[in-house]
Chains A and B, each alone.
Chain A
């Protein structure tokens, strides 16, 4: 569709005119006539909702909201075209078959072996070995080798040595969805462990010998403690209500030596609504400080984040300080349980704060343990009540921790943002389906590519320059405060306002420091080489001059001191007097608004930052706008090359 306008949310004045394309996998907006051929690509999988708004004199507005929080406002001149686009997008954004998803057509031009290697990058058996199991207390059980005991669990689970197959099977029958207690994290320093399961089908008075034996086995696997914590991450009321449905929670009287604890994290429906409310605040036009703060509090979002974090902290403390094992569950053991176990693991073990370790953590606690990616993130069209930002909350917990402990993580914010992006993008096969069983049935590893390999390849973009493996912050357990909370939790505008460039500091400290670090390293290496050469050349004087000029050229190439001044910015709308000022002709020296792209500033894995243009077009009033939102999304480059994309010029 031609002559479509792409509006900028922060200022309704700067609208880009261009052509809209719909392909089998993307919506693409190509801006007319810009030298840089500015394109905005949106994957259909990212589309969360499409809203057709009332036709105005300028055309028919269409609002596309994405799961990665990008909001695209288009204005299509003809109502008929707008309707066609709307209908098409509705269909495209709601695939019914897995084969419709992008990952099955995405072609990064790797050979079969490279694809396989990519999938092997994260190996859970290796991970459990690293933890220290199997050992005297823990063994691998293959009781679920054909998914016969629990179809949402992996084929290999780790259980206490004294848990026989009979006990496991018996316990599984007493657990919701058959999700029996299994090992999530083992602390070899003190034998304490974190195990996870679903709720017991205890109702008001039902008992199961095998389930009680299972918990005993877990307790006995930790000789250092004579009791076991059982943590139910639900609010007490919800858990009690479940009893009426024949489910519920562990009765301390029936299970010997357990200490039971409710933590009180709300359910997926509450979380879905919370996010919805928060996004509404983000969509407010020119909100006051009051609107924003009230809206944010009203959504309850940060309160929920804190609840998840507090649960993780409680469990980490139990393991690290008390040396007591913990069994965690919620209702089905695949949402809150996953969040809480992974937060606790992250706090306990510095390995999970490395890039590789983090990938392993997600693979372990989310992918292998059957978190329902398809249902929660809508790979396929499904029940809207199953949709919930569960992993998003976990990812935010990690970010909040990064803000409190800036030196503790090997990776940076961009890593988290890209992972979140790809959970929804379906460009890679890691987060498809609802269980390991389904993924194997679909032969995901043979037909798609692994995100981990892709991120690993680009890991230079994801490093935290302040991380040092020998830094005190990176050692041992992280101990965040639980209270007072007023300074602990911030609004993550890098994620929820990701595409609104006007909001963020224009100058990335992370990128700058990484560049400094790299340059220092290069210079040091060079210095070493030169030192050697100098000693060798002490005999002949002729080459000294050549050496000097070489060094000068190198520092000019890197040009660190000048690159950041080019990340300029434009004033946003400070004035409410719309008609007060005369128009300003665009030709008047826009030095401070021109965005000069240098090679240093362009990150291959995050083109959306570089596609941003600060060019000012003629302004009618004093308010100047911030750069338009929406640029290329990570890894879109490969998408563009895909020769399987079918162009449907509507």
Chain B
């Protein structure tokens, strides 16, 4: 699986031999690959007007392009804000709740993200074909898809350590602009242009996987909540800045020299056990989630975190832990 940003085809259908060669080296003679473009066919076409575009079939004959539009940017942030508003609305009655939930479109985004990741995973696992994923910049929906696809395909990404590695690779080092994207979250009226909850969407999708495959992820919901918190505000430097360059050179302070790593803290034996899933049992298989609406649930642990008491559910988890420990 490869990821990139969009090719700069432009309105004049420029070609780039090096780019074609690079993609060519990935595939053997006669093999085919798939390009998963996270923009709609129309949006991708329109991108040509501003210098971007798609890989033309003639120049990349072995690659088949699939468009799976995923929401990002402003609309995704709006979706998030609307959802949080709906969840916080204590006056809402049963007559209106579901349509309010629906109008935020958040669950539709979760469904779309999971479906696209599954598609990419299917290309690799079922068709045994290579996949190139990209959107426009390659820093948002691209990473969402590649990270999720790896969780689906690769059991080693589902361990606590493996998951951290996945985050480092596919989100932090890959250059997801955390500083811009995770600026103010849902309550701010600032409406920053660059703000968008892609990382939260990713965490939500991971939660959906944990819900559908309760034994297959080594980490618990608590880890996901902690990651969500730290992406927005953290005592650690892990999610600072927008990319590796800024972290090393651009920042006023050198991140690695002047801050502590979140992973180092999480992995301490005393801390670590809080983030483990008591039901975990290594599952060597690919996990294919259902993306039917009934299977996709609202992540109550996050969206109602401060609104409803989790006491009874926590007690249930404590029971589960006890049962497993006793064994």
B107 at the binding interface (Cβ < 8 Å):
yes
> By CB atoms of chain B within 10 A, which of A468, A506, A561 has the most?
A506
A290 touches B108 (CB 8 A): yes
Q: A288-B108, A507-B213, A507-B214 are in contact. Are A565 and B281 (CB under 8 A)?
A: yes
A33 at the binding interface (Cβ < 8 Å):
no
B293 touches A622 (CB 8 A): no
A574 touches B214 (CB 8 A): no
A322 at the binding interface (Cβ < 8 Å):
no
Considering the complex, give the chain A residue whose CB is closest to the CB of B316: A406
Considering the complex, give the chain A residue whose CB is closest to the CB of B120: A574
* Chain A residues in 8 Å Cβ range of B167: none
B323 touches A517 (CB 8 A): yes
Q: A407-B315, A564-B281 are in contact. Are A575 and B119 (CB under 8 A)?
A: yes
Q: How far is the CA of A288 from the CA of B107 in the complex (A)?
A: 10
B92 touches A485 (CB 8 A): yes
* Chain A residues in 8 Å Cβ range of B97: 297, 485-486
* Chain B residues in 8 Å Cβ range of A580: 64, 66
B316 touches A466 (CB 8 A): yes
* Chain B residues in 8 Å Cβ range of A561: 281
Q: How far is the CA of A520 from the CA of B323 in the complex (A)?
A: 8
Q: How far is the CA of A564 from the CA of B280 in the complex (A)?
A: 10
A472 at the binding interface (Cβ < 8 Å):
yes
Chain B min CB distance to A561 (Å) = 6
Which B295-327 residues have a C-beta within 8 angstroms of A? 295-298, 300, 304, 307-308, 312-313, 315-316, 319-320, 323-324, 326-327
Considering the complex, give the chain B residue whose CB is closest to the CB of A281: B293
B323 touches A516 (CB 8 A): yes
* Chain A residues in 8 Å Cβ range of B327: 516, 519-520, 523, 560
A293 at the binding interface (Cβ < 8 Å):
yes
A565 touches B126 (CB 8 A): no
Q: How far is the CA of A466 from the CA of B317 in the complex (A)?
A: 9
A491 at the binding interface (Cβ < 8 Å):
yes
* Chain B residues in 8 Å Cβ range of A10: 292
* Chain A residues in 8 Å Cβ range of B312: 404-408, 473
B315 touches A471 (CB 8 A): yes
User: Which of B41-49, B82-90, B266-274 sits within the interface?
Assistant: B82-90
A513 at the binding interface (Cβ < 8 Å):
yes
Q: A297-B99, A571-B288, A622-B126 are in contact. Are A516 and B324 (CB under 8 A)?
A: yes
A289 touches B95 (CB 8 A): no
B-contact 0/1 string along A565-598, CB 8 Å cutoff: 1001111101101001110100000011000000
* Chain A residues in 8 Å Cβ range of B91: 484
A289 touches B111 (CB 8 A): yes
B290 touches A572 (CB 8 A): yes
Which A479-493 residues have a C-beta within 8 angstroms of B? 481, 483-487, 489-491, 493
Q: How far is the CA of A584 from the CA of B127 in the complex (A)?
A: 8
Q: A290-B102, A297-B99, A468-B319 are in contact. Are A577 and B66 (CB under 8 A)?
A: yes
B275 at the binding interface (Cβ < 8 Å):
no
Q: How far is the CA of A569 from the CA of B291 in the complex (A)?
A: 13
* Chain A residues in 8 Å Cβ range of B96: 297
B164 at the binding interface (Cβ < 8 Å):
no
Which A286-325 residues have a C-beta within 8 angstroms of B? 287-294, 296-297, 300, 302-303, 306
* Chain B residues in 8 Å Cβ range of A503: 290, 292, 294-295
* Chain B residues in 8 Å Cβ range of A506: 212-213
Q: How far is the CA of A561 from the CA of B284 in the complex (A)?
A: 12
A509 touches B98 (CB 8 A): no
> By CB atoms of chain A within 10 A, which of B87, B94, B279 has the most?
B94
* Chain A residues in 8 Å Cβ range of B283: 564-565
Chain B min CB distance to A503 (Å) = 5
Chain B min CB distance to A13 (Å) = 15
A491 touches B294 (CB 8 A): yes
Chain A: interface residue total (CB-CB under 8 A): 73
Which A501-540 residues have a C-beta within 8 angstroms of B? 502-507, 509, 512-513, 516-517, 519-520, 523
B214 touches A505 (CB 8 A): yes
Chain A min CB distance to B79 (Å) = 12
A248 at the binding interface (Cβ < 8 Å):
no
Q: A519-B327, A571-B118 are in contact. Are A466 and B293 (CB under 8 A)?
A: no
Q: How far is the CA of A143 from the CA of B290 in the complex (A)?
A: 58
B107 touches A293 (CB 8 A): yes
A626 at the binding interface (Cβ < 8 Å):
yes
Q: How far is the CA of A544 from the CA of B279 in the complex (A)?
A: 34
B285 at the binding interface (Cβ < 8 Å):
yes
Q: How far is the CA of A473 from the CA of B292 in the complex (A)?
A: 33
B211 at the binding interface (Cβ < 8 Å):
yes
* Chain B residues in 8 Å Cβ range of A408: 312
Chain B min CB distance to A467 (Å) = 9
Q: A487-B304, A626-B290 are in contact. Are A513 and B323 (CB under 8 A)?
A: yes
B115 at the binding interface (Cβ < 8 Å):
yes
Chain A min CB distance to B39 (Å) = 16
B101 at the binding interface (Cβ < 8 Å):
yes
Which A441-475 residues have a C-beta within 8 angstroms of B? 465-466, 468, 471-473
A163 at the binding interface (Cβ < 8 Å):
no
Which B175-189 residues have a C-beta within 8 angstroms of A? none
* Chain A residues in 8 Å Cβ range of B98: 293-294, 296-297, 302
A-contact 0/1 string along B114-126, CB 8 Å cutoff: 0110110111001
B276 at the binding interface (Cβ < 8 Å):
no
B223 at the binding interface (Cβ < 8 Å):
no
Contact of B291 among A300, A303, A560, A572 (CB under 8 A): A572
B118 touches A520 (CB 8 A): no
Considering the complex, give the chain B residue whose CB is closest to the CB of A304: B94
A622 touches B123 (CB 8 A): yes
B287 touches A288 (CB 8 A): no
Chain B min CB distance to A74 (Å) = 23
B-contact 0/1 string along A151-187, CB 8 Å cutoff: 0000000000000000000000000000000000000
Q: How far is the CA of A564 from the CA of B213 in the complex (A)?
A: 10
Q: A407-B319, A487-B300, A516-B323 are in contact. Are A289 and B92 (CB under 8 A)?
A: no
* Chain A residues in 8 Å Cβ range of B105: 289-290
A512 touches B279 (CB 8 A): yes
* Chain A residues in 8 Å Cβ range of B102: 289-290, 293-294, 297
* Chain B residues in 8 Å Cβ range of A306: 94
Chain B min CB distance to A172 (Å) = 37
A497 at the binding interface (Cβ < 8 Å):
yes
> By CB atoms of chain B within 10 A, which of A289, A297, A569 has the most?
A289
* Chain A residues in 8 Å Cβ range of B214: 505, 507, 509
Q: How far is the CA of A565 from the CA of B119 in the complex (A)?
A: 23
Contact of B308 among A481, A509, A560, A574 (CB under 8 A): A481
B25 at the binding interface (Cβ < 8 Å):
no
Q: A289-B102, A292-B293, A493-B294 are in contact. Are A484 and B285 (CB under 8 A)?
A: no
Q: How far is the CA of A483 from the CA of B116 in the complex (A)?
A: 36
29 contacts between A and B (CB under 8 A): A282-B294, A289-B296, A292-B293, A293-B107, A293-B293, A303-B94, A406-B312, A468-B319, A471-B319, A473-B315, A484-B91, A484-B307, A487-B300, A493-B295, A505-B213, A506-B213, A509-B279, A509-B320, A512-B279, A516-B327, A571-B118, A572-B288, A572-B291, A575-B122, A584-B127, A592-B285, A622-B122, A622-B123, A622-B126
Told that A406-B312, A503-B294, A560-B327 touch, could you supply 8 new A-B pairs with CB distance under 8 A?
A294-B98, A465-B319, A466-B319, A493-B294, A505-B212, A574-B291, A622-B122, A622-B123
Q: Which residues of A contact B (CB under 8 A)?
A: 10, 282, 287-294, 296-297, 300, 302-303, 306, 404-408, 465-466, 468, 471-473, 481, 483-487, 489-491, 493, 497, 502-507, 509, 512-513, 516-517, 519-520, 523, 560-561, 564-565, 568-572, 574-575, 577, 580-582, 584, 591-592, 622, 624, 626
Q: Which residues of B contact A (CB under 8 A)?
A: 64, 66, 86-87, 89-99, 101-102, 105, 107-108, 111, 115-116, 118-119, 121-123, 126-127, 211-216, 279, 281-288, 290-298, 300, 304, 307-308, 312-313, 315-316, 319-320, 323-324, 326-327
